[in-house]
Structure 1
């Protein structure tokens, strides 16, 4: 029986994978790097630091001291500008999160940085619905490594212990992901997985190990989760 749901952020809660890519395209162009869709989507699951380092290596560009921080700050600022007028949350996701938080412990496991997550959570009023969050910097290894989901479960059980509740097993948790590395990360810990085709194809998610694949979280309810993941 599912007792906790962990959400990814980019591509699951907020529809900004293309926005992220375009922000990086503009910033990296100033450093002589032409970011392609192939390069970007090959790097799904990486945090920002790992991504920028990987793009410089792939372009065979030497990174000068201070360049990494400059790129990261510029990209985060541009990303905020791009979503400032209208927050691109996926249809139905806010209602689903609210409903889920009344029935399950809800957590966030994302490789996005705290500043970008914090901005969206504040704008959308998401904070009260999440018990725990794991973000870039909380673990050293990016998805598909299991570290982030393992840490998410640890943080949840630490909170439950403080509330005098029994710890949960990974098999009592559901991870909702939009990318193969995310599915693989959660699967490696032993969590159930629901893939959403917001970013890659159904086949790609199933090949990564997704138990169930959906085209939209707007089609899901708390009862759906209880019925499908028994």
Structure 2
């Protein structure tokens, strides 16, 4: 019996990943440098394994990294104004509460980053538990974030469901032995996910949470 639903944040609840990718592509295009897209993809859902400004700065030693960073950040900030959570997200939170489920957030981003957007979108009220990169020694694809959620609620892996949008995030759930539903966004929809993901949907708006959980239960039989 499912007792908790656990959500990633970036790219799943709020599509910061797509907006950030677009901001980097805009700034790279301005200086006629190819953005290292594959390396970006490899970093989604975990800590950056590379400096996203590296190729740009190396292309022209006259460029100031701090100024480029400010310019790119301004583009990102402008792109997220008036944006909303992804389709169906809030409905899932409400349905989870109606079903008596615990609702947790487990993110590889920092607490400062997460709480900024939770406040902006008025979402903090939906969560019984929030864990971020500041609460663990290793972020996804390490399963530590998800294992801490299980420990906090005192539940087994098969009593929870994880919602993720990236291969790194889904791999963390799989390593924690928690059934994982992937909901890719525009930036991750063409990436390769582990074959062990329990289900893939395009949007939380396409299926009610109760129906999704029922389908997952039937798969586990």
TM (norm. structure 2) is 0.78
Aligned equivalent of 1:210, options 179, 197, 201: 197
Q: How does 1:52-131 map to 2 (within 5 A)?
A: 53-55=50-52, 79-84=76-81, 86-103=82-99, 104-131=101-128
SS in 2 for 1:229: helix
Report the Cα offset of residue 95 of structure 1: 1.4
- TM-aligned CA deviation for residue 187 of structure 1: 0.8
1:56 Cα offset (Å): 6.7
SS at 1:107 equivalent: strand
The count of corresponding residues between Structure 1 and Structure 2 is: 210
Shift of 1:73: 8.3
**1:160 aligns to what?**
none
Distance 1:88 1:102 in 2: 22
CA distance in 1, matches of 2:2, 2:19: 33
Match of 2:61 in 1: none
What whole-Å deviation, never above 9, does each CA across 1:73-125 have from its counterpart, x for those lacking one?
887676444312x1232112111112213321000111123233222212222
Which ranges of 4 or more aligned residues in structure 1 deviate by more than 6 Å? 26-30, 56-61, 67-77
Deviation at 1:178, TM superposition (A): 0.9
Alpha-carbon separation, structure 1, partners of 2:75 and 2:53: 19
Q: Secondary structure at the match of 1:204?
A: coil
* Structure 1 residues 178-230: Cα deviation after superposition (integer angstroms, max 9, x where no partner): 1111111001111011011324347823x352111111100232321331122
Give unpaired runs (5+ residues) of structure 2: 59-63
State the SS of the aligned residue for 1:176.
strand
CA offset digits 1:29-67 (Å, max 9, x no partner):
99xx863322211211223xx44x454778897xxxxx9
Hey, what's the Cα distance between the residues in 2 that align with 1:118 and 1:174?
Answer: 23
